[in-house]
Amino acid sequence: MTGPAPLTEIWRGPMAESRHTGHAVICDGSGEIVEAWGNPAEAVYPRSSAKMIQALPLIESGAAGAYGLTAEQLALACASHNGAAIHTDRVKAWLADLGLGDDDFRCGPQVPDDDAARFALIRAYEAPCQVHNNCSGKHAGFLTLAQHLGAGPEYVEPDHPVQKACLAAFEEVTGEESPGYGIDGCSAPNFITSLHGMARAMARFACAEDGKDARQSAQHRLWQAMVAHPELVAGEGRACTELMRACSEPVALKTGAEGFFIAILPSRQMGIALKITDGATRAAECTIAALLVRLGVLDPGHPAARARLNAPIRNRRGIETGRIVPDAGLL
């Protein structure tokens, strides 16, 4: 079995101070590996990189149609957002459309990453709500599906119809039986697959034809929603948002906790999945940027690329003290 490959180094002065290894797979539309680093068979939790898979039952069940969900709502269902007003205002309105409130969520409260939203809460001496949780769009989708199915309120339980539908979709698009699950930061099950399985799933999204069948139409609609609303998928300054805007063709990008990243490349009919062994976001962002450059969809001179690829590390006086450097094997 292949071990993890070197992917990113953190340089300071004359030497690398820290090093990140991991696994990365690029798949084509047939699900075959085009290129890989490390071990494609590595068992992984895709974490939030699986959100567009978790959103498939929302569309395929007819719920999205019945509730008239917009592309903005579908982008939020796939999002790990910053909890900025552009995110929470839309999720609150969605909840209101369902006749539900913050207490109906099961994701738990989270301090928003967005400075303005966080500062406003602190200045008002208010605690964050569940709508501020970076996964609140996904959970609004879960609640919509649960209501459409007439299912109970505990929609994150693994035996709830919502999660059973998510598992079925997950195993179908990865092409693998999931050997188990962990509980995610937002309390939903997060299913295990191989990294190859996850890259295969992303390639299937990339190849999906609108109108072909319910699955492909849903996949097509979801990546289009992500690409149309990059600011809703993450937030200003975030890698997913900035890199989706920077790509020279439509590419859907999604980070996941613990150093996960995926890409859906419809024009190339390819999918990418990668996992940093130690879980570091800085290395996942550098690695996905390097692979997008490698595939010719990202200009390495674009500011969004330069902020992740050979990005300067600056200290508290703004002095450059080091760089985040992709491994030569990625270039």
Judged by beta carbon, residue 262 or residue 276, the one nearer a copy of itself is 276
Which of 277, 291, 295, 309 is in the footprint of a copy of itself by CB under 8 A? 277
Give Cβ neighbours of residue 220 (< 8 Å, ≥ 6 apart). 205, 208, 209, 210
Candidates 71-79, 200-208, 210-218, 309-317 — which segment interacts with a copy of itself by CB under 8 A? 309-317
Distance CA 295, CA 325 (A): 18
Judged by beta carbon, residue 59 or residue 283, the one nearer a copy of itself is 283
Q: Retrieve residue 280's tokens.
A: 């570091």
Distance CA 194, CA 178 (A): 9
For the bound state, the minimum distance from the C-beta of residue 7 to a copy of itself, rounded and expressed in Å, comes to 11
Candidates 223-231, 240-248, 264-272, 274-282 — which segment interacts with a copy of itself by CB under 8 A? 274-282
Judged by beta carbon, residue 84 or residue 270, the one nearer a copy of itself is 84
Q: Is 280 in the site for a copy of itself (CB under 8 A)?
A: yes
Give the residue among 155, 200, 191, 213 at the shortest CA–CA distance from 36: 200
Residues 260 and 46 sit within 8 Å (Cβ to Cβ): yes
Q: Is 102 in the site for a copy of itself (CB under 8 A)?
A: no
Distance CA 294, CA 155 (A): 40
Which of 40, 112, 259, 271 is in the footprint of a copy of itself by CB under 8 A? 259
Write the Ramachandran bin of 222: left for phi over 0, alpha for psi from -120 to 50, otherwise beta.
alpha
Distance CA 13, CA 296 (A): 31
Binding site for a copy of itself (CB under 8 A): 10, 12-15, 17-20, 43-45, 106-110, 119, 122-123, 133, 179-187, 190, 192, 258-259, 276-280, 283, 315-319, 321-322
